[in-house]
Each structure stands twice: as structure tokens, then as C-alpha cells.
């Protein structure tokens, strides 16, 4: 990935040929900006003010206007930042995406960016860099005709910014992980198989000197992973249980130990309960977005190297149809000895996670976080911009939710109503794998997972609505968003 290069400018510089000048404008009640005192006065009065008046630009967050002008710069981009008192990290991230996309449309390889004094704040600088790096992601792997004629942004010059290369480097490490997750989710299921996820984990282990253990089907059978293996039965693709581990070099103190688990169903046909109608079977390549987020987090953590021990766990498989596929009504036994009646083979993700949760807890970790495109019910409840968060430990839930406003990856705490577990009652087994058909599907799914964690602090993130977008948005192209990577890494670094 060729990311744009950042440079820090202490005073107004003449941009290179074919570059442009991006100005952040705060929204004012009278729609007239008055915070441009750092821009040279002739440029402000001769170019910016007329452009604002002619376009009716108000500085409302998310708005932009561009113009060619006869001045020291040929192209000007005005970027709305909204009310000055409400500017936060996500404002900066979205503004960066706006700048990047405007430069691409203008075919400008470089841009001078002037956002008043906002770049003097490390958090705002980091968020702006993240927005640029996320917007720069372009996936043309499966196209025969590349967009070779387009000129993509190569240089970003920050005006009146405190020089801080380490912050830019941190932003790049984090977004490299997020963009890895996007690449995995975007790729078709005939490319991203369980074996390919295992190969990706192998490459991460080699690049960042991580420990790696990949359990084959026979290994999982010896560990009694009947829930996970029941999902694998209908597929010709061999399952791969992936366990990556980052351990800090410093052993002066006992570092916190965290397990991150991602649902890794690389294609979900629904099994014998085949997905039909509006179930969007054609998009079920993204049912491994939890696994992608975990591998993306491994990429970022391996590069950043925090003083925490992190385990990355994925029970990868396909959920397919064949003569050997698990049948509705079958009973399977998970690795903790609990028996499960398979009421619906399309509720497969929770079966893979069940054995992964048992495995993680046996590692003696302090906290477990799982991410999964688990239920359509969470999309009904929260839409496409928020993930549902469930858990057994309020402190862990709160620490994860605190990362949301910093990363723009939104979460909303959902109730874990224990009485709803009665809807998963089975006559012949300890539980069924689905609850009532009348509602609360995301809650009963979380309650099912809870049965496989005994004592460890645990959080479940249902990310089904957030991992894919049909339309471009700010710093995202259409397709995979990489949701969860930045949230996890921020939480690890700041908790």
C-alpha cells in the first residue's frame, strides 16, 4: 500500500504544480468564518471570502466546495468542520477523507492543508492521518482494467502543525491493520478460504515475530470441539483453528493477557437451513469480518508492540451443504462438555465461537473479547453505524465503549437479559442454538456464548451491520469497512 507522505510546514508555502490548498472552515451562526487569521490576508480576502459567498458555503460539518482560482494556488478546497466547540477526532477523520477524495477528483498529487490550530493537538493530528490513510485504500486486485489514468494523492503538507512523525507513524500502523481487514473481507470466498486465513496468520507471525499454532481438524477433534466441527462437516475446505500470540519482550512485570476472538466463517450458505430471499447469500463472504478484524489487530499490535500479551484466535471454516453436513435436530457436544441441539444450521457462528471461547479461557487470560457478524437482529436494532456490545463485566464493557468516540467505531450496550435464555431450552440437550423466533435474536445469541465462559471477564461485539457499506462514505469506499480493528487497538493501547 502506497500511502501519501506527510510533511509539516511552519508557514504558508507555495504548493507544487498541480497541487491544491485545503482550508478548514468552522461553522458560524452568521455563516461567515473569522478564524482564518493564519492565512495570508490577500489570499483570504481575494480567494476564500469570494468563494464562500459565491458558493453559499456555511462550514457545516461534512460539506465541501472546490474552485479553480488565479492566485498562488490553482485549486482551493473548503472543508466544513462544523461548530468549533464540537470538533473531535471523528470530525478530523471525516474531514481528512473529504480532503483526500476532493484531491482525487481534482487530479491533484499534493495538497497543503490548513485547519487553523487543530493540528497542534496530537489526537486530532492522528485522526486526520488515519482518515487520509483509510481513504487511500484502493482494492483493484480482481479487476482486469486498473485505474491507471487517475492521479492519487501522494503528498500531504500540514500547515502550522506541530511536527510529530511518531503520531503519523502510529496512525499508519493502525490503519494498515484496518486496511488488511478490508482486503480480507472484500475478497471473494474462493480466494479467502480457511487455509488462506491460516496463511495470512503465518505471514503476520513471520513479519512481526509472533507465536503461531494452527490446529487441524484432527487436533480439534482431540480437544472435543464438537460445536465448531459440526459447522465444518458440509465443506470440502479443511477447517483451520488459528492461534496467534504477541508477547512483549519486557518481562520485568507480568503484562495483562487478553484474548481476541473473531468469527471466521469464510462463506455462510446457511447450511441445510439455506439462506433464501433477502438473506443476501451473495454477500456471505463477509461473514468472516470478525476474523479479519482480529488479524488486522494482530498486524497493528505486531507493529506497535505494546506491553500486553495478546492472543488472536479464529475458528475458521465454511458453512456449506453436502451429504455430510450437520442436520437440523442433530446434537453436538462442545469442548466444555455442554450439549447443543442444532435447531438451525444458519446459527453457525455461535457454534464456532463456543469452542473458541472455551479454548481462550483455558489460556488463563484476564479478558476475552469476541467479534462476530452474528445476527441480523442487531442490524434491525442498531442499523449500520453501531455495533452491539454485550458482556459479563461492566468495567470491561465501559473500557471498550470509551474507545468508540476516539475511533469513530460506535458501540451501543445491549442488555444481557438472563431470563431470555429459557427460549433456548431443549428437550433432549442442554440448550438449542437459537432462541425465540419472536425477537431478541441478538440477545439470545449473546446468552448462548455466555454459556462457554466460566469466570473470565468477557465482551461480545455483534458487528453484523457495521462491516460492509454499499455506498462510499467519507474515508470508506464501497465494500468492507474494517470495523473493529481501530476500536480494539485503541482499547489495548489506552486501557
> What whole-number distance in Å separates Cα of residue 200 and Cα of residue 207?
11
C-alpha cell read off for 31: 455563516
CB 147 within 8 A of CB 183: no
Separation of alpha carbons 327 and 230, rounded Å: 9
Contact 342, 243 (CB under 8 A): no
What is the pTM (predicted TM-score) of this model? 0.95
The per-residue pLDDT for 322 is: 97
pLDDT of 150 reads: 62
- pLDDT value, residue 167: 97
| pLDDT per position as a tens digit, 249-297 | 876 678 999 999 999 999 999 999 999 988 899 999 999 999 999 999 9
Q: Which residues of the chain have pLDDT under 70?
A: 11-18, 29-44, 69-73, 147-151, 251-252
How high is the pLDDT of residue 346? Answer: 97
Residue 287, number of CB atoms within 10 A of its CB: 26
Residue 444, phi then psi, degrees to nearest 5: -65, -30
As a whole number of Å, the CA-based R_g of the chain is 24
**What is the residue whose three cell numbers read 456471505?**
284
pLDDT at residue number 27: 87
Reported as a single tens digit per residue, the pLDDT across 178-206 is 999 999 999 999 999 999 999 999 999 99
Measured torsion, CA atoms of residues 274, 279, 283, 288, in degrees rounded to the nearest 10: -70
**Block residue for cell numbers 469442548:** 335
**pLDDT of res. 294:** 98
Burial class from Cβ neighbours inside 10 Å (0-12, 13-18, 19+) for residue 254 reads exposed
> In the prediction, which pLDDT does 146 show?
75
Q: What is the pLDDT of residue 35?
A: 45
Which uninterrupted H or E stretch holds 112? Answer: strand 110-114
Instruction: Enumerate the active-site residues.
Output: 275, 350
Task: Determine contact, residues 10/67, Cβ cutoff 8 Å.
Answer: no
Q: Domains along the chain?
A: 5-166 (3.40.220.10), 173-494 (3.40.630.10)
3-state secondary structure (DSSP) of residue 285: helix
pLDDT of residue 251: 64
Kindly tell me the burial class for residue 140, based on how many C-beta atoms sit within 10 Å of its own C-beta (0-12, 13-18, 19 or more). Answer: exposed
Which string of DSSP letters, residue by residue, matches 384-409? TSEEEEEES-HHHHHHHHTHHHHHS-
Cell numbers at 146, concatenated: 486498473
Q: Within 10 A of 279 (CB to CB), how many other CB atoms are there?
A: 16
Amino acid at each position: 500500500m502506497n500511502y501519501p507522505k506527510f510533511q509539516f510546514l511552519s508557514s504558508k508555502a507555495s504548493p507544487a504544480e498541480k497541487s491544491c490548498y485545503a482550508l478548514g472552515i468552522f461553522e458560524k451562526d452568521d455563516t461567515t468564518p473569522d478564524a482564518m487569521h493564519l492565512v495570508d490576508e490577500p489570499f483570504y480576502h481575494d480567494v476564500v471570502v469570494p468563494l464562500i459567498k459565491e458558493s453559499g458555503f456555511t462550514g457545516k460539518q461534512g460539506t465541501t466546495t472546490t474552485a479553480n482560482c488565479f492566485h498562488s494556488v490553482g485549486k482551493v478546497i473548503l472543508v466544513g468542520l462544523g461548530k468549533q466547540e464540537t470538533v473531535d477526532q471523528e470530525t478530523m477523520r471525516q474531514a481528512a477523507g473529504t480532503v483526500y477524495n476532493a484531491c482525487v477528483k481534482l487530479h491533484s498529487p499534493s495538497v497543503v492543508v490548513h485547519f487553523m490550530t487543530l493540528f497542534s493537538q496530537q489526537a486530532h493530528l492522528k485522526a486526520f492521518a488515519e482518515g487520509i490513510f483509510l481513504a487511500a485504500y484502493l482494492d483493484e486486485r480482481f479487476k482486469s482494467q486498473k485505474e491507471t489514468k487517475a492521479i492519487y494523492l501522494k503528498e500531504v503538507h500540514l500547515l502550522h502543525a506541530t511536527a510529530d512523525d511518531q503520531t503519523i507513524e502510529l496512525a499508519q500502523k493502525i490503519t494498515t491493520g484496518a486496511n488488511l481487514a478490508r482486503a480480507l473481507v472484500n475478497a471473494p470466498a474462493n480466494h479467502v478460504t480457511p487455509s488462506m486465513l491460516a496463511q495470512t496468520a503465518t505471514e503476520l507471525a513471520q513479519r512481526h515475530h509472533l507465536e503461531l499454532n494452527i490446529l487441524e481438524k484432527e487436533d480439534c477433534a482431540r480437544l472435543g470441539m464438537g460445536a465448531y466441527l459440526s459447522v465444518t462437516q458440509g465443506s470440502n475446505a479443511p477447517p483451520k483453528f488459528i492461534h496467534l500470540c504477541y508477547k512483549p519482550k519486557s518481562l520485568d512485570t507480568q503484562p495483562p493477557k487478553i484474548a481476541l476472538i473473531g468469527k471466521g466463517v469464510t462463506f455462510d450458505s446457511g447450511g441445510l437451513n439455506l439462506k433464501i430471499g433477502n438473506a443476501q447469500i451473495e454477500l456471505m463472504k463477509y461473514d468472516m469480518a470478525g476474523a479479519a478484524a482480529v488479524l488486522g489487530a494482530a498486524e497493528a499490535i505486531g507493529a506497535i508492540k505494546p506491553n500486553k500479551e495478546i492472543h488472536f484466535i479464529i475458528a475458521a471454516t465454511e458453512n456449506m451443504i453436502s451429504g455430510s453436513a450437520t442436520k437440523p435436530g442433530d446434537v453436538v457436544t462442545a469442548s466444555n462438555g455442554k450439549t447443543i441441539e442444532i435447531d438451525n444450521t444458519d446459527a453457525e457462528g455461535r457454534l464456532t465461537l463456543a469452542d473458541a471461547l472455551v479454548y481462550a479461557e483455558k489460556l488463563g487470560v484476564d479478558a476475552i473479547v469476541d467479534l462476530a457478524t452474528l445476527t441480523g437482529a442487531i442490524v434491525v436494532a442498531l442499523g449500520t453505524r453501531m455495533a452491539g456490545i454485550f458482556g459479563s463485566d461492566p468495567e470491561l464493557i465501559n473500557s471498550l465503549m470509551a474507545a468508540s468516540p476516539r475511533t469513530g467505531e460506535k458501540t451501543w450496550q445491549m442488555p444481557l437479559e438472563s431470563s431470555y435464555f429459557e427460549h433456548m431450552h431443549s428437550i433432549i440437550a442442554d440448550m438449542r442454538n437459537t432462541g425465540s423466533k419472536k425477537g431478541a435474536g441478538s440477545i439470545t445469541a449473546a446468552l448462548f456464548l455466555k454459556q462457554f465462559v466460566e469466570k473470565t471477564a468477557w465482551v461480545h461485539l455483534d458487528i453484523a451491520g457495521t462491516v460492509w457499506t454499499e455506498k462510499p462514505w467519507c474515508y470508506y469506499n464501497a465494500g468492507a469497512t474494517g470495523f473493529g480493528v481501530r476500536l480494539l487497538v485503541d482499547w489495548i493501547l489506552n486501557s
